[in-house]
Chains A and B, each alone.
Chain A
Amino acid sequence: MTQLPTPDSEALRARYPLVFNRPVSARLATPVMMFGAFGIFVFGLVDLDFSPARLIPPDPGSSLPAYLVALGETLSIALLGTTIAAVFALPVSLLAAKNIVPSNIFRFPVRRLLDSIRGVDTLIWALVWINVVGLGPFAGVLAIAVSDFGAFGKLFSEAIEAADKKQVEGIRASGGNALHEIRFGLMPQVLPVIAGQVLYFIESNTRSATIIGIVGAGGIGLQLAEQIRVLEWQKVSFLILMILVAVAAIDWISGKLRFAIIGRRAVA
């Protein structure tokens, strides 16, 4: 095998001057063209009065305090609604779990009831509750509570069905009755899972609670819908920013809490 001679760089440079010493005009051509294209684009945006300029800067005007109150209302709605739903869903979910109620005849209606509650959107529940307790955040709390009741009932019963049977049998073997089995055999296994789910729902309900105001059930949605309707884009963008920040904050907090309750493994 013959070895190629090492190329002599000086000789190469001399032989191909155009490759090694490109003229300035050629080297600048691409950047200049890109810059020109971008410049025309920006000019076009400005000249055509492109709309994002109307969103910027996000400006609450003089109603910042009102918005903060509305945001607080939204967070309250999410927290309360989810808690109420969880408290009521826990006993019902026991009735929907296969390992507690083996009889299909009893389980079936409970499951279908939970399914139909879930089939109706939170906004629709909000409309119904507004008819009952009047406009305002309380209707929102009840709407979230009812629609989450359906979701929790299903999730909890699945968590209960996934629980280990051995511990329940242990309680029974030591003479515990059915309630003891649930309290000491099932609950210790299920509660961390449930707590994780409840935290996740508080987080996702912060998102849903931002919209139920659109039908008049309190919270920041009312302000948002109003500002969109009167085309106050600066206020709209400010409100959306507020929602984004609030959701991110709740995300972060509940992530930490979930980590504290169930450990890293189950966080994902």
Chain B
Amino acid sequence: MTVAVSILPEQQLAVLNEAYRRAVARKRLRLTLATAVFFAALVVASIGAEVNLRTFFTYFGNFVGYFDRIFTLENGARVWTDIGEWFWGCRKWLWMLGETILISYVGTLFGAILAFLLNFFAAENTSPAPWLRFVIRRVLEFARTVPGIVFALIFVIAFGLGPMAGVLAIAIHSTGALGKLFSEIVENADMKPVEGVRSTGASWVSCMRFAVLPQVAAGYASYALLRFEINVREASVMGFVGAGGIGQELVVAVRKFYYSDVSAILLLIVLTVFVIDIGTGWMRGRLFGKDARA
């Protein structure tokens, strides 16, 4: 069965075509302009960042060569031919890795507790007073915008070299990040239970404890686990500024050109991150169902 498609008369068609062409042309123009602006920004940025393609291509061999060298032992053999020699400092490194994970764990826990205490004041629907909300939000913003390693630098000076500085830095950064996420969960919580508890004459604290907390606790735990995972990565570089963990060993190995050590430590870090990634992913899946993994 064929149906003849009726074609509009020439004049009507011309008008419609014209309108279509104009709409497309406007869209194209906008796209071209946006692209031009973007490229201009890129050019400015590449001048600002001293991008030098000649250097890049001249030394790109170094990059490949670097990986070649970090996988070569001092006697010239490939690292995997002599695992014992490659991981000669395994005991010490594993100890440091353990310290890294502990820094991350303690820091995350501190951060989560602080964020937990603060987030009810930062959420739109539960905050007792607008000015308090404003203040707490700014504090959290500050804590998460200043990078953890900057806090670490400051704490290293305040408390001396060692993992304590790292823990505090991670705790502060996590407080900022988790406080925001927690308060967003609270903002999504159902307010009816709060009204119910409130109507019995309960105080603000009881409202939070009995009406809000049961709704949000699972979300809190999920985000805290995710944060732990991120913090392991962050704790692995805390040692760069002397704030404990495996980063110390790594930076020494890189700076002193102990090539095979670099690859060994990197491998250990990547493996640890993998394991923690998969572990926390699995745990969140088990605790809160599939959809909490995203």
Contact = CB atoms under 8 A, between A and B. Distances in A.
Interface of A: 72-73, 75-77, 79-80, 83, 115-116, 119-121, 123-124, 127-129, 131-134, 136-138, 140-142, 207-208, 210-211, 214-215, 218, 221, 224-225, 228-229, 231, 236, 240, 243-244, 247-248
A79 B150 CA distance: 21
A77 B49 contact: yes
Nearest to B294: A158
A218 B51 CA distance: 12
A133 B237 CA distance: 21
A80 B157 CA distance: 33
Contacts of A236: 154
Contacts of A137: 48-50
B266 interface: yes
B266 A210 contact: no
Interface string B138-165: 0000100111011001100100000000
A228 B48 contact: no
A121 B63 contact: no
A138 B51 CA distance: 5
Contacts of B42: 79-80, 83
Contact of B236 (A121, A231, A244): A121
A121 B62 contact: no
A76 B275 CA distance: 34
Contacts of A229: 153, 157
| Residue of A119, A128, A129, A248 with highest tally of chain B CB at under 10 A | A119
A80 B46 contact: yes
A124 B55 contact: no
B51 A116 contact: no
Contact of A73 (B49, B62, B147, B270): B49
User: For the side of the interface on B, what is the size category?
Assistant: 35 or more
B115 interface: no
Nearest to B55: A133
B109 interface: no
Interface of B: 41-42, 44-52, 55-56, 59-60, 62-63, 66, 142, 145-147, 149-150, 153-154, 157, 233-234, 236-237, 240-241, 250-251, 254, 266, 269-270, 273-274, 277
Given A80-B45, A124-B250, A137-B48, A131 B145 contact: no
Interface of B is mostly: helix
B147 A207 contact: yes
Contact of A243 (B145, B154, B236): B145
Given A225-B241, A243-B146, 16 more contacts: A79-B41, A121-B234, A121-B236, A123-B149, A124-B269, A133-B56, A134-B59, A138-B56, A210-B147, A210-B150, A214-B153, A214-B241, A221-B150, A225-B153, A243-B145, A248-B145
B147 A228 contact: no
Contacts of B59: 132-134
A72 B49 CA distance: 8
A138 B233 contact: no
Contact of A120 (B145, B146, B270): B270
A225 B149 CA distance: 10
Contacts of A131: 62, 66, 254
Interface of A is mostly: helix
B206 to A, nearest CB: 25
Nearest to A129: B63
A133 B62 CA distance: 8
Nearest to B39: A83
A244 B146 contact: yes
Contacts of A121: 233-234, 236-237
12 contacts: A73-B48, A80-B49, A121-B233, A121-B236, A127-B240, A133-B56, A134-B59, A214-B240, A218-B50, A221-B150, A229-B157, A244-B146
Contact of B273 (A72, A119, A136, A231): A119
B145 A138 contact: no
B63 A80 contact: no
A76 B46 contact: yes
Contacts of A115: 274, 277
B52 A132 contact: no
A208 B55 contact: no
Contacts of B50: 136-138, 218
A267 to B, nearest CB: 14
Nearest to B154: A228
| Residue of B49, B59, B142 with highest tally of chain A CB at under 10 A | B49
The 6 closest A-B pairs by CB, nearest first: A76-B48, A76-B45, A119-B273, A76-B49, A119-B270, A137-B49
Contacts of B147: 207-208, 210-211
A221 to B, nearest CB: 8
A160 to B, nearest CB: 16
A141 B51 contact: yes
A36 B49 CA distance: 55
Given A116-B270, A132-B59, A244-B142, A79 B45 contact: yes
B248 to A, nearest CB: 13
A140 B51 CA distance: 10
A244 B145 CA distance: 7
Nearest to B153: A228
Nearest to A128: B66
